[in-house]
Structure 1
């Protein structure tokens, strides 16, 4: 009787190795492409930073001189060196308008988002569409009515007018963002707090806000950035007293020409508060923007 033969395990196929190599090459190609796209997005900012350290003569050459000597003349001029205007009032105005408008937006958007997500009002989808419809009107279309109102009310060149305008402009997007964030808050913990006797302000402050903290931080940062970068209303409705940092940047474009190095230095300084705020809240921003995502 012949002994039974044992079939040896099949060796790894060449097609499997080829598939693995193709997957690795595809992954490497995607990584390189991602780096190229990322560097491409950063190049304008890096070029602006480099130009800010050049002299005006070197910055105005065509093509620009990359290896030109570095200098701090642009920053000295921006900060009032040589008898120029000081940038501190516009920077303080931008900081005040952005900060106070962001605080007002959060105070108004949190209860509104609570009513639209957790304790939903009747026809809440219509309410959400109304908030969205307010962003369909171009900002320039409302410029003349706002200007006439501010003129008749004596609010021209007033920083508090900008606070109200920025609050009204950012409130719809804040409600939309926070509604999606608050929709993920467990209703059970809210009901437990209400059983213990917590009223609505206490629930919002001690239960909802801590749980949805990353989402609130992301909303606050975006509203702050929108307010800080706003130019149209600030350019038309302000003057000497309430001018903001973006308005101050336009002063570097004069009838004598474009002072490119000074403008780049001013743009770098004006961008720093937003960059610092984004870096300080980057963990909250990532958590907030990914809140509700499928894990």
Structure 2
């Protein structure tokens, strides 16, 4: 972020949220971006369909280069730039990428080692996170911890919810946080947003599900503005129809995801969402259509 010029090329190590966000910023400024990822997919931890679509879109529009299933073995630099050497996890074949800069985006850790916690007797776990109980109180009575220094997603709005929780708890109220319903957003373009469980998580748990997907390409508003990439995916319980997860990639989905959060907070069914009137033409119609697709496979505009 302190670079004084736009680099001609950048190698990004890690195809997670931060790597793709910062990589796409540089790509839109004209930088050639190559991404090296240890896993076999991008946006690990999110619904697999989102990662597949994101990879396709970034390759098509921003000319991203992706090298999945590769383990970085060395990074060297000199006055000319950097060299990143990686080995394929499939056949052990090595490759070397040369670029002006290398961005390492393979995870974050809490900044707790300089807070003087030991002076107060506050305990941290083996990953440097401050340990708290169910009320976000540390082992030291009256000392609370929230946000990036405790376990869970490192999200500003998650920290906000926790801060509100602590304030309400301190004055004797009975607050509650449903961590399953804190949305996650990837600020690329198109944007990515999700809440609830992924299809992979639900299948692994043996939960009977039904899935409805609706592409933005079929919406008049998306076609009018040229933002036709992406889709909305609604996952509901096969027997009760309760919505268990909503995953989307496309224009303005960072804003649209709030509709899914509200619906799931009140345990809405896919049919509940499908019967709510959505203004036309809007991007939010994709939520209604995906819910219709999950309800007896009957979207209106497909």
TM tier, smaller: under 0.3
Output the TM-score relative to the length of structure 2: 0.20
Output the TM-score relative to the length of structure 1: 0.20
Of the two, which has the highest radius of gyration? 1
Q: Which protein, 1 or 2, shows the higher relative CO under an 8 Å CA cutoff with sep ≥ 6?
A: 1
Q: Which has the higher helix share?
A: 1
